[in-house]
Structure 1
Amino acid sequence: MIKNIVALLLLVAFVQSARSHSGANHFQETQRSIYASIKFEDYPKGMQAIQKLDLDVTGVDKKNKIADVFVTTEQYKALKELNFRIIENKSSKALKAVDEKYKSPDEIEAILKEWEKENSDIAKLHIIGQSSEGRNIYAMKISDNVSLKEDGESAILFNSMHHAREVMSPEVTLDIIESLITNYKTDAKIKNYVDSNEIWVVPMINVDGNAKVWSGSSMWRKNTNYGHGVDINRNYPYLWGTCNGSSGWTWSSTYRGPTAGSEPESKALMNLVKTIRPVFNISYHSYSEIVIYPMGCSGSRTQTKEVVEKIGKEIGESIQYEAGTAWELLYSVDGSDIDWMYNAYQVIPYVIEVNSRSQGFQPNYDKWRDKTVQRNRAAWMKLLDRMSQSGVKGQLDATYPSPESYQIEVRTEAGEIFQNYRINPNGTFHIVLNEGKYTFTLKKGRSTVDSKVVSVESSLKNINF
């Protein structure tokens, strides 16, 4: 830890000075060369101090109060001089090259195309956007009538690799696809998932950044736009750059981009979410073995926290990961995909950081790949199970033009407003709730159109207005 506040201010001044004359040849992300582990006496305060210094925090072990950072020689010297307790360090030259059994963008593209070819009855590949370097960003849709948009089926989304070096994360989403398509005809539970839902999977959002990892920059995190790159998961519009949860410095590992939603990768995911309106989302990252739910800025909670946090903790319990907000488990985050999804389109979204600190970003493939994806199956299956559990679902009939101009006010039995749910453009709604009695009031603006009192039980209930 830092001895005193003066020391902290000195290091902040050092970083700001380095930034002021940082150009293409100084203090760049590519010059980070030391991988260090810091032990804290007080974990929350220690993480807050590290975030203020705008260091590249690669992962944490919250239980043992340890954070890993990837730093330049100057940053490392400053940390030592200011008495951070560094318990381990190694040169980036000592880091092993990425295990070649992990998947490059081209390999993932080939795998997806082959799976679509072999399972065209339930799997359809979509290009949802292109990167700044012109690579396709793919999403796989899995459903029984895969070429149709079925209003009666709700959507769920899984995505991975916002950050280029996190090579295990696409393995989890590829495993989701493979598990669904290979077991569809033999496993009744899997068949029900596919027949009852529209399941969307985006295995690799940051295609350019991952290509850079494979070209030799194994610790690259951002995309490659503008030469210095942008942290795609700080680029989403909701509360972009508002709570010190990202950086405005171009060479920072958490650089949020020149404007909110500026990056082609974030635009691709935003357009997909706008189109499919998923009920749930899991964004896979690595590493730290935690489940993160919104909101990212310190002290913030979701309006529907009773549901969001309950499900998040259940997901964590299913895979033995700790669950909480980013600011509880790590540090404040702004411009994230899950905060944007929740606030823009009322998705219930989670981040799962797979693998432990001892395994890191790029663990041995043969040793850890299967163990990781098998352990994480319980989490994505839990959300697919939750699609048919407590809540209400329905669709406005044809007498209601412009369905998106209507909302459903949800009140608890005690009369408290739980949620103001905005109807989807196709007239559908799927509201996830805990069990209990609720009043559902259909409104257009301030005008009440209809109202129903419904007892929500363990199974999803269909109601219509």
Structure 2
Amino acid sequence: MFTKRRVLGGVAATIGLIMVATTASPAGAQPESQDAPQRGVYEVRGATAAPERTAVAGSGVDVLGVRDGGMTVVASPDQARGLRASGFALEQVGDFDAMLARRSGEARAAGVNDFPPGDEAYHNYAEMTAALRAAARDYPDLARMSSVGRSYEGRELHMLKISDNVAQDEDEPEVLFTCNQHAREHLTTEMCLHIVDRFTSEYAGDPAVRQLVDSREIWIIPQVNPDGSEYDIAGGQYKGWRKNRQGRGTDPNRNWGYRWGCCGGSSGYPSSQTYRGPSPFSAPETRAVADFVGSRVVGGSQQIAAHIDFHTFSELVLWPYGYTYADTAPGMNAEQARRFQDIGRQMARTNGYTPQQSSDLYITDGSVNDWMWAEHGILSYTFEMYPRSGGIGGFYPPASVIPRETARNDDAVDILLRAAG
């Protein structure tokens, strides 16, 4: 088993200090309400190695972004004190709720679920649904709309298939694109809708688009977590909400069944932003997508060859595994690891993102990429989209960037579609 170089001496001591200082369990955050007052936004310095960042994430803070040796987190006063006691330097850059209020502006009328004024170009659930229906109506030979199931609150988890013979199940490589697992990451819904628009409206006039559509079956799920997304914009006020709406919320990207809760990369506390749920696939949204992926096993062979799960933010291309620092592990040999790296770096060269293994950030367990690869052999990546860095505003970039930042990934998407063959 090949492993990376790791700074282990002082890091192990740091992790131990954090666990003592915060009384966090090895499996994640301490039982502290995410709705507690005085949530500060901090820049954390000193977490330059992945084990140190894992320790910070495991202290119970809400990690907003990681970049250039620093972390931006939301922390309670107790969490901030615990991190400082463990040797990390923290600089408070704002109050979480005040920053959200400033970014949101004036509230909309009660009962209105839409983005704040100025951000109307983002699609809420109804608008996303209408966009998919329009694509299926306007391009009936290329696009077909369906659903993989329902969310916890009963919303359809819409999916669009794009193919030159869309009504047939052809013997062609399949590629899946998923967006908006985390509620506040609205730019990702726009990314999936951009893929829909590009591979339908440009089919007739762009030979490269036509060749890909003619030789692949493309599946797109623009909102894996519609309940959380709708809650995050209720009343036109951003809430910084990450999870689904099941109880106190489950983090969908810690709820997948492979190595669920194994390695300190998620939390067993419902108050935590990385709460993994009481059992694998306890979130109906992850179960529905997993069932769809399982349904694509035809004649004993998985038809989906490649997958991107879009997130924000930090401008990264990430690949498995997230649960271990090792480059190789059971189910991932050296040749397979090199293929992930090679394709990930090719994609990153086209969009300017930084390519790396997921655990190079910090340990995560129960993630979609690990499950897709380990359970189905699907070449699965996470893209952390624009911006490169930022506080809570990093989740809410102005709507004016949507065209630029979605088109920025066109070449990378094409690379993965070709690699699937």
Q: Which of 394, 400, 410 is the matching residue for 1:360? A: 394
Q: Which of 15, 24, 46 is the matching residue for 2:52? A: 46
Structure 2 residue runs without a partner (length 5+): 1-9, 105-115, 297-302
Give 2:373's aligned amino acid. Answer: Y
Structure number, greater radius of gyration: 1
- Which 10-residue stretch deviates more, 111-120 or 85-94? 85-94
Does the 8 A contact of 1:154 with 1:278 survive in 2?
Answer: yes
Shift of 1:45: 4.2
1:311 aligns with 2:343: yes
1:57 aligns with 2:73: no
Aligned partner of 2:94 in structure 1 is: 90
Aligned partner of 1:452 in structure 2 is: none
Could you list the per-position Cα deviations for residues 188-219 of structure 1 after superposition, in whole angstroms to 9, with x for gaps in the alignment? 11111111111001111001110110124521
Does the 8 A contact of 1:12 with 1:52 survive in 2?
Answer: no
Question: Which portions of structure 1, spanning 4 or more consecutive aligned residues, are displaced by more than 6 angstroms?
Answer: none
Q: Which has the higher contact order (CA 8 A, sep 6+)?
A: 2
Identity of aligned residues (%): 29
Aligned partner of 1:13 in structure 2 is: 23
- Alpha carbons of 1:203 and 1:30: their partners in 2 closer, same or farther (altered >3 Å)? same
Does the 8 A contact of 1:293 with 1:324 survive in 2?
Answer: yes
Shift of 1:11: 1.9
How many residue pairs match? The answer is 376
Structure 1 residue runs without a partner (length 5+): 389-465
Aligned partner of 1:260 in structure 2 is: 280
Does the 8 A contact of 1:280 with 1:383 survive in 2?
Answer: yes
Does the 8 A contact of 1:246 with 1:256 survive in 2?
Answer: yes
Give 2:356's aligned amino acid. Answer: G
Give 1:183's aligned amino acid. Answer: E
- Alpha carbons of 1:202 and 1:9: their partners in 2 closer, same or farther (altered >3 Å)? closer
Aligned partner of 1:123 in structure 2 is: 143
Could you list the per-position Cα deviations for residues 149-187 of structure 1 after superposition, in whole angstroms to 9, with x for gaps in the alignment? 112x11111111110011111111111111111101111
d(CA) in 2 for partners of 1:295, 1:14: 24
Q: Which of 208, 219, 227 is the matching residue for 2:227? A: 208
- Alpha carbons of 1:134 and 1:318: their partners in 2 closer, same or farther (altered >3 Å)? same
SS at match of 1:86: strand
How large is the RMSD of aligned CA atoms in angstroms? 2.4
d(CA) in 1 for partners of 2:340, 2:25: 37
Shift of 1:319: 1.3
Shift of 1:273: 1.2
d(CA) in 2 for partners of 1:306, 1:46: 26
- Which 10-residue stretch deviates more, 134-143 or 212-221? 212-221
Shift of 1:377: 1.2
Shift of 1:103: 1.7
SS at match of 1:351: strand
- Alpha carbons of 1:38 and 1:270: their partners in 2 closer, same or farther (altered >3 Å)? same
Aligned partner of 2:190 in structure 1 is: 171
Shift of 1:249: 0.8
Could you list the per-position Cα deviations for residues 112-165 of structure 1 after superposition, in whole angstroms to 9, with x for gaps in the alignment? 1112111111000011110110001011000011111112x1111111111001
- Alpha carbons of 1:136 and 1:14: their partners in 2 closer, same or farther (altered >3 Å)? closer
Could you list the per-position Cα deviations for residues 213-238 of structure 1 after superposition, in whole angstroms to 9, with x for gaps in the alignment? 01245211000102x01011111111
Shift of 1:76: 3.0
Shift of 1:299: 2.9
Does the 8 A contact of 1:36 with 1:68 survive in 2?
Answer: yes
d(CA) in 1 for partners of 2:348, 2:44: 25
d(CA) in 1 for partners of 2:406, 2:20: 44
Q: What is the TM-score when the length of structure 1 is the normalising length?
A: 0.76
Shift of 1:385: 2.5
- Which 10-residue stretch deviates more, 115-124 or 6-15? 6-15
Does the 8 A contact of 1:293 with 1:326 survive in 2?
Answer: yes
Could you list the per-position Cα deviations for residues 308-333 of structure 1 after superposition, in whole angstroms to 9, with x for gaps in the alignment? 221112112221212121111x1111
Q: What is the TM-score when the length of structure 2 is the normalising length?
A: 0.84
* Bigger proportion of residues as strand: 1
Aligned partner of 2:417 in structure 1 is: 384
Could you list the per-position Cα deviations for residues 7-47 of structure 1 after superposition, in whole angstroms to 9, with x for gaps in the alignment? 5344232789xx88x5xxxx312226222111226333431
1:223 aligns with 2:244: yes
- Alpha carbons of 1:80 and 1:15: their partners in 2 closer, same or farther (altered >3 Å)? farther
Shift of 1:82: 5.1
Could you list the per-position Cα deviations for residues 70-109 of structure 1 after superposition, in whole angstroms to 9, with x for gaps in the alignment? 1224323444555532234211212312534322112111
d(CA) in 1 for partners of 2:224, 2:309: 10
Q: Which of 30, 36, 39 is the matching residue for 1:31? A: 36
Aligned partner of 2:364 in structure 1 is: 333
